[in-house]
Chain A
Amino acid sequence: MNGDRAVAYAVKQAKVDVISAYPITPQTIIVESLAEYVNNGELDAAYIPVESEHSALSAAVGASLAGARVFTATSSQGLAFMWEILWIAAGLRTTIVMAMGNRALSPNINIHCSHDDAYAARDTGWMQFFAENVQEAYDLTLMAFRISEDHRVLFPSIVNLDGFILTHAAEGLRVLEDRDVDEFLPPKKPVNAIDPERPMTYGALDLIDWYMEHRKFQFEAFESTRPVIKEVFEEYGEFTGRSYSPVKTFNTEGAEVVLVALGSSAGTLRHASRELAAEGKKLGVVSLTQYRPFPVDEIRRALSEASVVGVLDRSLSFGSPAPQLFADIASALYSAKRRPLLFSAVYGLGGRDFTPQHARELFSFAQEVLRKGEAPQRSIWIGLREG
């Protein structure tokens, strides 16, 4: 099954009530599959074929407030179009789960993978998870519903899966039995849902006298999602034998060089790490399953023993000192007692291949940094055309 179909299958098993759907490559297979489930009677849900991504998320907000379990999906330009509503979906404490087939933003128009869209959503108050393979896309989708709808959470979630690399890649998939999903994910118990018997005002005007306090409440509530995410990850692990944690480490013990990445490239890094290990070289690999809230403590634990850390970003932040993941990691490590040398690498933009050879180049570069005792101030670029 490919990543898109795996997500759709998880959504079907989650017995969502409402799907709002607008097509965009590379997530389109998700909403197509869901339309088939609904129209064939395999899923009892309302399917709203909205006229834009802006309306996709707007309808999802309305449905979630009405008490429904809601799913939508998007990519790239679609995410950019719904960006205004991302903030509102989070601030109104909806429990929407959205799959994002990560894709580069225009111009020039490109349908392949970058992480521009995930990064564009980073400050909006959505939880974000990154899948490294099709299995994780399936698992994280199920967990996202459980986490979002937990009464200690009540925030929407994005499940990121790399465009084409995962959305369209066929891999073996272990699915849960429907009854097991039912047990893991009981029907949503809405909080403060729209109810004419108990009228409430949602989305009021909030000015100088209260807005700041409300933002503080929201900030703290978002912070308090951290233990719940961990708890659900662990429970899912006990349930399925596939354990999850906010940050994944591989061969980091005793490794002077560690590379950090989001999404499918972590697998490529691990492959290179295994090869290097066979040659007696140590490359640690760290990847983030949980991107928002950013796993600060886990990142400190995972990286503070290293001497050199290279952070891979599949995006750019024009005019910034470094791209987005690097900035988060640098910020998380700044107050750590022991700080490794940090460097930034830009790779894979617009679907440019990232190969084990590239991972080896990064490893060599990191060893150079280690030898010099100094990291470059600017990002290095991996995989550019020659000449």
Chain B
Amino acid sequence: MSTGVIRSLKEIPKEEFFAPGHRLCAGCGATQVIRFALKAVPGPKVVVNATGCVEVSTTVFPYTSWGVPWVHVAFENAPAVASGIEAAFKVLERKQGVRRPKIIVLAGDGGTFDIGFQALSGALERGHDFMFICYDNEAYMNTGIQRSGATPKGAHTTTSPAGRVIPGKLERKKNLVEIAIAHGVRYAATMNPAYPVDMYNKIAKAASFQGPTVLHYYSPCPTGWYFDPSRSIEVARLAVQTRIWPLYEYEDGRYRITVPVKEPKPIEDYFKLQGRFRHLLEPENRWLLEEIKREVEENWNRLVKLSQISQ
């Protein structure tokens, strides 16, 4: 059990609540956020999981990887299920003295940005006490790499293929943290597996709040992004170093960039490692690459300004 801020990986508790032997792909980023969440959230906890990669890969009957109560109902409703569990435990605590666990909701980007959007919005608005973690692999990977509202501009997926006329997805990714903030949550943050101490501390901090918190986790997917599984962390680190995935947090009105990136690496370095982006390096798609670069820069500048003015 842990509380408070850690400074190095060595301080992360050794006890595991998530067993190996699951069927997630080699190099999948999801396992890391699961293991960290179960370590960084102190005390009794319950996981509510939306349908998705993690759900199908970790509970193949008669096996389970979960050393904590784990509940899966359907794809689009994990925050609603969590609302019911939270409300029930609050009442049972009052009436019967049952100890109230912390509720962790785990959903992929489909279960968060698209089909699960309404249930998430409702649960945030009602203010239930739960931590929402989106493990975002930027497409429907469980069904075979289809585009979602979290797929970044330019990415190839099986439903936004890089074709001769349309070079991949042309729409922007939704901004989950801003959506959470718009609901009045007190704490929201982005996380990335290449920055584990940052991630651990954000989960621990989120757990210290009463009410809903939202954590947006970058979950590298070798299968759907077309890169070698051994390079997951390298890809993840580059996402931060190119400012594509800024690591920041929002806490009670204040923004803070938790991993400053003074000299960003070229976005091309990030794109050339992944098959989903490689077409963007072709001359005919130059316009799209430039558009993406501009948007990445705008977003970074926005966060810098927000963190300055909100102090």
Contacts and interface: CB of A to CB of B under 8 A. Distances in A.
Interface of A: 17-18, 20, 44-46, 48-52, 54-56, 58-68, 70, 84-85, 88, 92, 194-197, 199-207, 210
A46 B81 contact: no
B82 A62 contact: yes
B259 interface: no
Contacts of B83: 20, 48, 50, 55, 58-59, 62
A18 B70 contact: no
Nearest to A19: B87
Contacts of A70: 84, 88
Minimum-distance CB pairs A-B, first 3 = A62-B84, A51-B122, A196-B44
A46 B127 CA distance: 13
Contacts of B64: 201, 204
A59 B87 contact: yes
B80 A62 contact: yes
B70 A201 contact: yes
Contacts of A68: 87-88, 91-92
B67 A50 contact: no
B76 interface: yes
A249 B77 CA distance: 43
Contacts, number: 152
B14 interface: no
B55 A52 contact: no
Interface in B204-235: none
B73 A18 contact: no
A126 to B, nearest CB: 16
Contacts of B80: 50, 54-56, 58-59, 62
A201 to B, nearest CB: 4
B70 A52 contact: no
A55 B75 CA distance: 12
B90 interface: yes
Contacts of B122: 50-52, 55
B281 interface: no
22 contacts: A20-B84, A44-B91, A44-B95, A48-B126, A50-B80, A51-B119, A51-B122, A55-B83, A55-B119, A58-B77, A59-B80, A66-B85, A67-B92, A68-B88, A201-B64, A201-B69, A203-B59, A204-B59, A205-B59, A205-B60, A207-B60, A207-B61
Contact of B60 (A54, A194, A204): A204
Contacts of A63: 84-85, 87-88
B71 interface: yes
A66 B82 CA distance: 10
B306 to A, nearest CB: 29
A204 B61 contact: yes
Contacts of B26: none
B305 interface: no
B21 interface: no
- Chain B CB count within 10 A is highest, among A17, A58, A84, for A58
A61 B91 contact: no
B72 A58 contact: no
Contact of A85 (B68, B77, B85, B118): B77
A48 B61 contact: no
B74 A84 contact: yes
Nearest to A55: B80
Contacts of A67: 88, 92, 98
Contact of A206 (B61, B74, B90): B61
Contacts of B82: 62
Contacts of B69: 194-196, 199-202
B88 A66 contact: yes
Contacts of A201: 59, 64, 66, 69-70
B74 A196 contact: no
Interface in B81-122: 81-92, 94-95, 98-99, 101, 118-119, 121-122
A51 B80 CA distance: 9
A134 B195 CA distance: 62
Contacts of A203: 59, 71-73
B55 A196 contact: no
Nearest to A198: B69
B295 interface: no
A40 to B, nearest CB: 17
Given A85-B74, A204-B61, A205-B59, A44 B121 contact: no
B122 to A, nearest CB: 3
A58 B98 contact: no
Contacts of A202: 69-72
Given A50-B126, A199-B67, A201-B69, 20 more contacts: A17-B91, A46-B91, A48-B84, A48-B126, A50-B122, A52-B122, A54-B76, A55-B119, A55-B122, A62-B48, A62-B71, A67-B98, A68-B92, A88-B73, A196-B69, A199-B68, A203-B71, A203-B73, A204-B60, A204-B72
